[in-house]
Structure 1
C-alpha cells in the first residue's frame, strides 16, 4: 500500500479563497462576473455632444478563432477530440462559462447564468458515437445545449501541452516558484517550452507534510482529497506536476530526480513499485482538482485576446465540483 497519508476537506473549498498564485487568480477571487461597460468619448461633430460607443458584438467564430490562437488544435494528441462540439459560428456570445467537464450539472449552471458558450477541458465526444439521440446520455446533453442556445467547445491535450497551460496553472496553485520546464517536452517545440507536466521549485525547502497541506489548500476540495506516499518529515524542494492522469510519466519524474511528483489517477501497481524503489515522494490528487486551476488562466487569456475590458464578453469559472467520486466511507 503506497499511500501513507490522506488529506481531504471538501467543505473548506471556496473558489474565492483558492490560492491560484498568478494573475489569473483574479478570476477566482471575483465574487461576481465582470461587466463590460460602454465607454464615452467626445463627439467629433461641431456641436460637441457626447456619444456612447458600444463594443461590437462578438460571435462564436470570433471566440473560437481567438482561443485557437492561444491553444492551437494542432497541438492536441492525435487520439484527442478538441474544438467546437456544437453551436452556430455566427451566433453572438456574451457570456462564457469555463468548466473541467461537460456534464449535466455544468449545463445547469451555464443555463442559470445565461451563458452562450461553455468551454471545457474534457471532451464530450472523445470516442466515436453512432447516435446523439436524446435517448442517450450524451445525446440528451447535446440536445439540451442546442435547444438552450449554448455552444460547447473543448481544449484538452492542446491546453495540456501549451506554455503556459494546464500544468503551469497547477504548479502555481500548489506553490511552485520561478521558472518552469516541461516534464515531458514536446519534440516539435524548438524553444523547449511546451510539453506535458512541469518541473519547478518551492520558494524554500519544507517538509513533505507541509507541502502536501499547502497543495491541498491550493486545490479545490473533493471527496477523495489528496494521497501522499513518502516520509512526511523529509525535506523537499524540487517538484514535478502533471495535471490529469500522470502515472505514464513516473519514469520521467524518476529521470528528473525531483523530490516530489504530484499528479492524478495513480494506479496501485505503478505507484507501489515507484514508492518501493525510488526516493521521490508521490502526491495523488483528484483528476478534476489538478485541472481546475487552468480554467481561470484560460479565461483570462481569452478575455485579453478578445480585447479585455473593451470586449462585450463576460467569463466565469464554474464552481461545480465534477470529480467522478462524490463520497468516501
Structure 2
C-alpha cells in the first residue's frame, strides 16, 4: 500500500517546492507520513464542503490547490473554521496537502492547462512566462502565447465560458466584442498585479481573475491609447484554478496504480447567485 510519504515524494517531483513563492504555505498541513493512502480527493479549496466530500468517500488525503494555513493563525480551536476543519480531518484519518504557487509555475499547472484547452501550441518557444524561474526559465508565473488563428474577442470569451466551470459571476469582458485577438496573456487566479507587465500590455487580450475596479479601469484607459488592447477577460478565481486538477489526479494515478484519485464535484466559488443589470 502507498504511504503519504510516497505520495509527498511524487508531488514534490511534479510540483517542486523550489518553485513556490517565498510567502506561500504549501505542503502537508496535517497527516502522518507513514499512513497508508488508498484514496485521494483533489479540490481547489480546503473548505467544509470538500472536507465532507473527502471523508464521506473515505479518502485518506485531501489534495488542494489553496493552502488552509496560508495566512497565519494563532489558534486552531474548533470554534474557528480552520480549527474545525483540521479537527474533522484528523478524526477522519484524512491528511491535507496543498500545491499552490509551486503548481502555478509548471507546464501542467492551472495556466498551462488553460492554454492547452485554448489550443495554444506547447513548447517553451510558444509559451513564455511573465515571471520565469531563475533556474528554469521555461517555467514561471503567467504565460503569453498565440492562438493558432485570430478570433473575435466575442468568440474568445465564449470559448472561455465554455471550457471553464460555470460560476454565478460568469465571465466578464472589457473590450470591443468584434476586435480580433490572437496573442493571449493569462494568469490563473488573481492577476491584477500583472496588468502593467510587458507580457500583458503587449498582448491582445488578458485572461485572469479577481480584477478590481481601479486596476482594471486604469488598464483600460491605457489600452485606449493602444487600439483598445489588451482587452480584459475576468473569470472567477475558482474557475481558473479548477481545470488542472484532473491532470494532477491522472499523474498521481499513473505513479501509484493502487491509489484511487478523483476531483471534487464541489463548486467552491464563494458567490452563489447574481442579478443581471444589463439594459
Q: TM-score, normalised by structure 1?
A: 0.78
Number of residue equivalences: 268
Residue 280 of structure 1 aligns with which residue?
A: 230
- Identify if the C-alpha distance between structure 1 residues 79 and 219 changes in structure 2 by more than 3 Å, giving closer, same or farther: same
Residue 33 of structure 1 aligns with which residue?
A: none
Larger gyration radius, structure 1 or structure 2: 1
Q: Which has the higher contact order (CA 8 A, sep 6+)?
A: 1
Residue 98 of structure 1 aligns with which residue?
A: 42
Aligned pair partner of 1:210 in 132, 155, 180: 155
Deviation of the 1:171 alpha carbon:
1.7
Deviation of the 1:255 alpha carbon:
5.6
SS in 2 for 1:158: helix
Asked if the contact 2:185–2:199 (Cα under 8 Å) also holds between the matched residues in 1, the reply is no
Aligned pair partner of 1:320 in 256, 266, 277: 266
Query: 1 CA distance for matches of 2:59 and 2:164?
Result: 25
Residue 22 of structure 2 aligns with which residue?
A: 78
Asked if the contact 1:253–1:261 (Cα under 8 Å) also holds between the matched residues in 2, the reply is no
Asked if the contact 2:200–2:206 (Cα under 8 Å) also holds between the matched residues in 1, the reply is no
2:177 corresponds to 1:241 = no
Superposition pairs for residues 1-329 of structure 1, below 5 Å?
Answer: 57-179=1-123, 180-190=126-136, 192-252=137-197, 257-278=202-223, 279-306=229-256, 311-329=257-275
- Identify if the C-alpha distance between structure 1 residues 297 and 276 changes in structure 2 by more than 3 Å, giving closer, same or farther: same
Query: 1 CA distance for matches of 2:154 and 2:69?
Result: 39
Deviation of the 1:135 alpha carbon:
1.6
Q: Over the residues paired in the alignment, what is the CA RMSD in angstroms?
A: 1.5
Asked if the contact 2:30–2:90 (Cα under 8 Å) also holds between the matched residues in 1, the reply is yes
Deviation of the 1:168 alpha carbon:
0.1
- Identify if the C-alpha distance between structure 1 residues 267 and 224 changes in structure 2 by more than 3 Å, giving closer, same or farther: same
Query: 1 CA distance for matches of 2:201 and 2:221?
Result: 18
Deviation of the 1:163 alpha carbon:
2.7
Asked if the contact 2:44–2:66 (Cα under 8 Å) also holds between the matched residues in 1, the reply is yes
Greater CA deviation, 211-220 or 174-183?
A: 174-183
| 1:266-314 C-alpha deviation (Å, 9 max, x unpaired) | 11111111111212100000000000011112112222333xxxx2101
Asked if the contact 1:166–1:243 (Cα under 8 Å) also holds between the matched residues in 2, the reply is yes
Deviation of the 1:76 alpha carbon:
1.0
Greater CA deviation, 172-181 or 281-290?
A: 172-181
Segments of 5+ residues of structure 2 without an aligned counterpart are 224-228
Query: 1 CA distance for matches of 2:51 and 2:80?
Result: 16
Q: TM-score, normalised by structure 2?
A: 0.92
Query: 1 CA distance for matches of 2:53 and 2:104?
Result: 25
